[in-house]
Structure 1
Amino acid sequence: MPTLTCPPATSAPAALTFDERLALAALAVDARINTTPLDLADVIRCPVDTPTVPVLQPYRTPIAAVLQRAHTRLLRDGWCTDRLHDEQGARCLIGAIRAEASSRGQADDACTLLLDIIRDEFDPTAETIASWNDRQRDGRMPARILGHAASRADARGI
């Protein structure tokens, strides 16, 4: 079997010129760019049935539970203005509460608390829940207020 030997070094290699270093840098960049692109379908894996609405622990008090269910319904089905519900199933604040309450009295109690919270913490000029709901630009604030009202009702024990 033949052996390979390196010739003895006679002198140090000559330093590269600026143009030679620039050409080598361009080759290195090209080598990085010209690689096979990453296929994200091979990397990202998600469950097919991921819920879009967070699953919350139910409140034990009746009004808090109604407000929380109305909050979940609003997030799940959507929010609307100028009516209790639309053709796609979206609801306004009152429509979501009425859909989740077990009686008209329970819905009225939840709405009374909600209006008090809207007036105390968000808009002292609100005359009704419906008028406040209809002034909103999207469903983020109505959903937020329902979640907040559920937490307050639970803290009050109602």
Structure 2
Amino acid sequence: MPTTHTQSAPTLPTTTPAVLSLESRLAAVEAAMTVALDEAAVAYEVRTAHIQIDPVDLADILTVPLTPTLQPTTPHGSPVAALLQRARQRLLTDGWCAGSQIREDGARCLYGAIRVEAAGDRSLEARGLEVLMDAIRADFTDADSVPVFNDRWADGRVPMRMLGQAAALADNRGQ
């Protein structure tokens, strides 16, 4: 009969691991975390270096509530300022649109809102449009007219903000 030799695994000397104090273990974990966070910060900088950030106008980010408040605002004392304020309120309640004076659902453009709130008073309408154009040109020097300015926007935030600024301008002028 053949003899079989079985080999056993070599036995390694057993040593007890070094016992670290709590402070030593915390220091080791802190060092490892610092290295990991530094590597992550470098990786983030490398991944985002190509991104260009355009300046943000906070007035374009801060929006009006989706449901308009039913509380009327304090009316301006001057007729043009009151007209512009009413036009802004109409856009808040009925909606804003581009490309036409009025849409089937009742939404209006800047010009359409001023026109309906002027109630046929062409002089008041013209003065309101003039003050609105002054307010627009203060921020947007390339604006040709109120309808062209209105139609360049995808939503009504900026046009309604400009109506508010125009109302304040007219009130300051006493118009």
TM range (shorter): 0.5 to 0.7
Q: Which residue of 1 aligns with 2:145?
A: 128
Shift of 1:52: 3.2
Q: Which residue of 2 aligns with 1:93?
A: 110
| Structure 1 gap ranges (5+) | 1-49
Greater shift in the superposed pair: 72-81 or 100-109: 100-109
Q: 2:68–2:92: 8 Å Cα contact kept in structure 1?
A: no
Are 2:106 and 1:119 aligned?
Answer: no
Aligned pairs (5 A) from 1:8-23: none
Question: Within 2, Cα distance between the matches of 1:55 and 1:153?
Answer: 19
Q: 1:53–1:72: 8 Å Cα contact kept in structure 2?
A: no
Distance 1:72 1:125, change over 3 A: same
Shift of 1:53: 4.8
How many equivalent residue pairs? 108
**TM-score (normalised: structure 1):** 0.65
| Structure 2 gap ranges (5+) | 1-66
Distance 1:128 1:53, change over 3 A: farther
**TM-score (normalised: structure 2):** 0.59
Question: Within 2, Cα distance between the matches of 1:126 and 1:65?
Answer: 24
Q: Which runs of 4+ in 1 moved over 3 A?
A: 50-54
Larger Rg computed on CA atoms: 2
Are 2:87 and 1:70 aligned?
Answer: yes
